[in-house]
Amino acid sequence: MNTQNIFFRFIFIILFSVYSSSISYSKDIIKIGTLLPYSGVYTVLGEEITNAMSLAFDEIGNKINGNTIEIIKGDTEVKPNIALQKSRKLISSDKVDILVGPVSSSVALALRDIVVQTKTPLIIPNAGANVLTDEKCSKFITRISFSNYQINAPMGSWLANQGIKTAFLLAPNYAAGKEMMNAFKEKFTEAGGAILGEEYTPFRKTKDFGPYLARVKESGADAVYVFYAGGEAINFIKQAHSFGLSKVMKLTGAGWTTSPLFLPAQKDAAIGFIGSLNYVPSIDTEANKIFINSYKSKFGRIPSEFAVQGYDSGKVIIEAIKSLSGDVTNKDNLAEAIRTVSINGPRGPLTIDKKTNNVIQNIYIFEVIAGEKGPELKVLDTIKAVKAPGKKCNI
Ligand code: PHB
């Protein structure tokens, strides 16, 4: 063989191997199915989570180890039966590798068995239903958001220690509303507080909070403790303000009620509300500043805790798949890789409790104050490294 021939053979082998490796990469698609609300009362939450998760993927050019990330959206409509139908499609027809969702606790409870039975790793970017990281926990379910207990129990002790002696509870009538009020009640009464009454408003249907506000006022409690989100949070805060409730008692509750996502609509009506959350935009870290800037430049506003939960879901997916060198074929390995990730994100260090698969994180107690550019959350206290109890779970 002459030198020219050897040279051409050599070039051919190189070109062929580059070509074949590009084929094997380009046909490998990592499919991420979302089960989030893109219609109904929690639409803005679902969109915020999806936007921020896409931002995390955009930052790495939408590829992990050469595999292209594809997001396939499933709209839960905040309805358990619809979400279950959509999950069947995503799992059986689309053959997604990972599911991300949902927002609502009732929807999460409906999805639990199908993801466990089909061994489809589920990353929960919001829904707080306690049992999913307690008696119904599974290594295929990793929650990077919060448990309903984790956010609300600290508020029970904190408000009682601030001298609030009596409270009235108000929340939507579904799993999350009940669990949040129970967590608050447990710690508030343990610290010597008394509950003077509680009301649960029809979920997704209540537009007029007038009759409830009247009963809250009549109770004569020191504080009302509420949970609302989405359209319900906006309506509740505006109506409580017109009603003058803050003139007779303290407005307190689960912090989503005055999330930075709803503040632009609630405006000054939210001022004075005291709540707790797993993220506030004022967290003074490099990681948070970078995140806020890139979120702002892409979406034109500051991110909320829902955005952080979506962004962290994206980051967890990226790190988990990288740790497997891009191989997502073995679902047991994938689930294990997801729960082993620890990242330093906008809310600070994020680790997953190995016993329950629920995130361990700081809880921020804040007050809504009038800032230069409108209402903002001022941190009053930080409760460090809060875990969800999950006594009946041992993964
Ligand atoms: C829930 O249903 O678990 C839920 C929904 C919205 C929130 C928080 C929790 O803001």
What counts of helices (H) and strands (E) characterise the chain?
Answer: 12, 15
Q: With a 6 A CB cut-off, is 127 part of the ligand 1 pocket?
A: yes
Tens of pLDDT along 181-219?
A: 999 999 999 999 999 999 999 999 999 999 999 999 999
pLDDT at 3: 57
Q: Which atom of ligand 1 is nearest to the CA of 42?
A: 6
3-state secondary structure of 246: helix
Q: Give the CA angle between residues 127, 133, 137 to the nearest 5°.
A: 115
Quick one: average pLDDT of 64-90? 98
Q: With a 6 A CB cut-off, is 103 part of the ligand 1 pocket?
A: yes
Q: Which atom of ligand 1 is nearest to the CA of 104?
A: 2
Judged against a pLDDT cut of 70, whether residue 16 lies above it is answered with no
Q: With a 6 A CB cut-off, is 276 part of the ligand 1 pocket?
A: no
Query: How far lies 218's CA from each of 99, 197, 239, 251, in Å?
Result: 46, 10, 16, 15
Q: What spacing in Å lies between the alpha carbon of 180 and ligand 1's midpoint? A: 9
Helix axes 105-117, 80-88, angle to 10 degrees: 30
- What confidence category does residue 25 fall into, taking pLDDT thresholds of 50, 70 and 90? very low
Q: With a 6 A CB cut-off, is 256 part of the ligand 1 pocket?
A: yes
Residues ≥6 apart with Cβ < 8 Å to 75 = 36, 37, 38, 39, 46, 82, 86
Residue 88 tokens read as: 């069947």
**Domains, in order of start, for the chain:** 29-146+284-361 (3.40.50.2300), 149-277 (3.40.50.2300)
- What confidence category does residue 4 fall into, taking pLDDT thresholds of 50, 70 and 90? low
Helix axes 305-323, 331-340, angle to 10 degrees: 130
Residue with tokens 């008696």: 135
Taking residue 89's Cβ as centre, other Cβ atoms within 10 Å add up to 13
Residues ≥6 apart with Cβ < 8 Å to 124 = 101, 102, 108, 132, 141, 142, 143, 144, 145
What percentage of residues in the chain have a pLDDT greater than 70?
93
β-pairing, 359-371 vs 274-277, is antiparallel
Quick one: average pLDDT of 85-108? 98
> Is the distance from CB of 359 to CB of 144 less than 8 angstroms?
yes
Q: What spacing in Å lies between the alpha carbon of 104 and ligand 1's midpoint? A: 5
Q: What spacing in Å lies between the alpha carbon of 176 and ligand 1's midpoint? A: 6
State pTM to two decimals. Answer: 0.93
pLDDT at 215: 98
Judged against a pLDDT cut of 80, whether residue 358 lies above it is answered with yes
Tens of pLDDT along 44-56?
A: 999 999 999 999 9
Residue 241 tokens read as: 């303000």
Quick one: average pLDDT of 93-117? 98
Q: Which atom of ligand 1 is nearest to the CA of 127?
A: 3
